[in-house]
């Protein structure tokens, strides 16, 4: 049994008796008279369980067979991130029971999960759409192969920090999980290669959010394949991808009209050419007839976050062009969405509201005279 204390039938009876006393000996609900905790309708039980933590849900599933079956059929979301030990065994015991899960969070502070647990998830939880396996350092390629066959409906997968996965296994997964919209590969330096990214671009055309932070094997070939194959990309994190050049950014600017956030921290091969390509992307991606109407709703379109910290080859004029093209990019206090840490030569770059804020005190001072 999971938890600090076992949930016993006697405890349930005592709690129910207290509730009965408050209700005058009987509890009525929708024409039904409830005289025992086992009489609680399954629909009500499932509603109650949405109000409690996941640990209580698991405990409740062990009360009786009826509750276990009801919870197993009705539960769609579960997080076991609170489990500091024996998570692997817990998953092995729960996966066969909770077959209707759509979201499963298995984030860990220290690695516990092993391949057999992920294989059990793949064998029983075929409706799974969201899976978080971050920091699962013990997992091998067998886990990705199992997910490819057992969970083809995945739309969001977080395997950040899973450093043992290979690019061959990730390529295989992409071929089966073609509905992916969010994929976190941060720190997956072995898996995130150009070969794997080419497969993602080929098969996962609905992808919207991709984190490739500190995947040092990623190059222009891979990023360009993503840009051409995944035109709906909105959030792309390439921080620490030291091999990429302007070609990657140009491809994203020209091929991904919905791009809202781009991380280029420490991508020191990036030059002004990439910035000017971003600045011109709205004009290229929008018909001329729509350009004027776009001006009235600038904040709804285009880049909203850009991280070019440590991109020391950039000049102020190129970065200012990007800032001027996307009003949602801010350098002003409290709204930093154009991040330029470590770029001392870019201190003259300011967003429109920062310039206005600077001018206002000066205007007051002038009028005083």
pLDDT digits (tens, 9 = 90+) for 233-250: 999 999 999 999 999 999
Q: Which of 59-68, 82-91, 319-328 has the lowest mean pLDDT?
A: 59-68
Report the mean per-residue pLDDT for the chain: 86
**Calpha distance 244→241 (Å, rounded):** 6
Q: Is the pLDDT of residue 314 over 60?
A: yes
Architecture of domain 166-368: Alpha-Beta Horseshoe (3.80)
**Contact partners, residue 276, CB within 8 Å, separation at least 6:** 318, 321
Q: Is the pLDDT of residue 319 over 60?
A: yes
More confident residue, 3 or 69: 69
Contact 292, 299 (CB under 8 A): no
Q: Is the pLDDT of residue 289 over 50?
A: no
pLDDT band at 21 (very low <50, low <70, confident <90, very high): low
User: Span 42-57, mean pLDDT?
Assistant: 78
Q: Is residue 269 packed enough to be buried (19+ CB in 10 Å), middle (13-18) or exposed (0-12)?
A: middle
Single out the residue of 322, 228, 302, 313 nearest to residue 269, CA to CA: 313
DSSP 38: G
Q: Is the pLDDT of residue 356 over 70?
A: no
pLDDT band at 82 (very low <50, low <70, confident <90, very high): very high
pLDDT band at 283 (very low <50, low <70, confident <90, very high): confident
Tens-digit pLDDT profile for residues 161-175: 999 999 999 999 999
pLDDT band at 325 (very low <50, low <70, confident <90, very high): very high
pLDDT band at 71 (very low <50, low <70, confident <90, very high): confident
Q: Is the pLDDT of residue 7 over 70?
A: no
Taking the domains of the chain in order of start, what are their residue ranges? 1-75, 166-368
User: Span 95-109, mean pLDDT?
Assistant: 95
pLDDT band at 1 (very low <50, low <70, confident <90, very high): very low
Tens-digit pLDDT profile for residues 188-205: 999 999 999 999 999 999
Exposure class string for 152-185: b at 16+ Cβ within 10 A, else e: eebbbbbbbbbeebbbbbbbbbbebbbbbbbbbb
Contact 107, 135 (CB under 8 A): yes
**Calpha distance 244→260 (Å, rounded):** 19
- The pairing of beta strand 156-158 with beta strand 235-237: unpaired
pLDDT band at 5 (very low <50, low <70, confident <90, very high): very low
CA 261-266-268 angle, to 5 degrees, is 110
**Among the residues of the chain, which ranges form H helices?**
9-22, 42-49, 54-60, 65-74, 87-94, 115-124, 141-150, 167-176, 194-203, 220-229, 246-255, 272-285, 288-295, 316-325, 352-368
28: left (phi over 0), alpha (psi -120 to 50) or beta: beta
pLDDT of residue 4: 39
pLDDT band at 53 (very low <50, low <70, confident <90, very high): confident
User: Span 85-110, mean pLDDT?
Assistant: 95
**Contact partners, residue 137, CB within 8 Å, separation at least 6:** 111, 161, 162, 163, 164
Count CA atoms closer than 13 A to 295's CA, side-chain side: 5
Partner residues linked to 183 by β-bridges: 157, 210
Structure tokens at 180: 């992916």
Contact 200, 183 (CB under 8 A): yes
**Contact partners, residue 195, CB within 8 Å, separation at least 6:** 167, 168, 171, 222
């Amino acid at each position: 049994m999971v938890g600090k204390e076992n949930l016993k039938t006697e405890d349930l009876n005592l709690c129910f008796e207290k509730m009965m006393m408050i209700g005058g000996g009987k509890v009525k609900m929708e024409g039904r008279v409830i005289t025992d905790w086992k009489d609680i309708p399954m629909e009500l039980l499932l509603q109650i369980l949405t109000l409690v933590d996941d640990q209580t849900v698991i405990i409740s599933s062990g009360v009786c067979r009826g509750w276990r079956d009801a919870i197993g059929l009705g539960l769609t979301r579960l997080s076991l991130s609170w489990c500091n030990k024996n998570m692997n065994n817990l998953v092995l015991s729960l996966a066969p029971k909770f077959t209707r899960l759509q979201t499963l969070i298995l984030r860990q502070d220290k690695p516990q999960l092993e391949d057999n647990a992920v294989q059990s998830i793949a064998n029983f939880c075929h409706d799974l759409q969201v899976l978080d396996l971050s920091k699962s350092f013990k997992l091998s390629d067998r886990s990705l192969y199992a997910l490819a066959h057992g969970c083809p409906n995945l739309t969001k997968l977080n395997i950040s920090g899973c450093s043992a996965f290979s690019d061959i296994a990730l390529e295989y997964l992409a071929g089966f999980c073609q509905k992916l919209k969010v994929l976190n590969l941060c720190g997956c330096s072995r898996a995130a290669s150009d070969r794997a990214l080419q497969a993602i671009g080929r098969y996962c055309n609905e992808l919207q959010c991709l984190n490739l932070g500190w995947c040092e094997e990623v190059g222009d070939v891979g990023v360009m394949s993503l840009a051409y194959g995944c035109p709906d990309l909105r959030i792309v994190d390439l921080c620490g991808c030291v091999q990429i050049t302007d070609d990657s950014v140009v491809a994203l600017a020209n091929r991904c009209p919905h791009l809202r956030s781009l991380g280029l921290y420490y991508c020191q091969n990036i030059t002004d050419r990439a910035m000017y390509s971003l600045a011109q992307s709205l004009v290229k991606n929008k018909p001329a007839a729509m350009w004027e109407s776009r001006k009235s709703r600038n904040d709804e379109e285009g880049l909203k976050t850009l991280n070019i910290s440590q991109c020391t080859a950039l000049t102020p004029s190129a970065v200012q062009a990007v800032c001027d093209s996307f009003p949602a990019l801010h350098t002003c206090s409290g709204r930093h969405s154009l991040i330029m840490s470590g770029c001392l030569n870019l201190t003259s770059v300011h967003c429109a509201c920062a310039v206005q804020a600077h001018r206002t005190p000066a205007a007051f001072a002038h009028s005083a005279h």
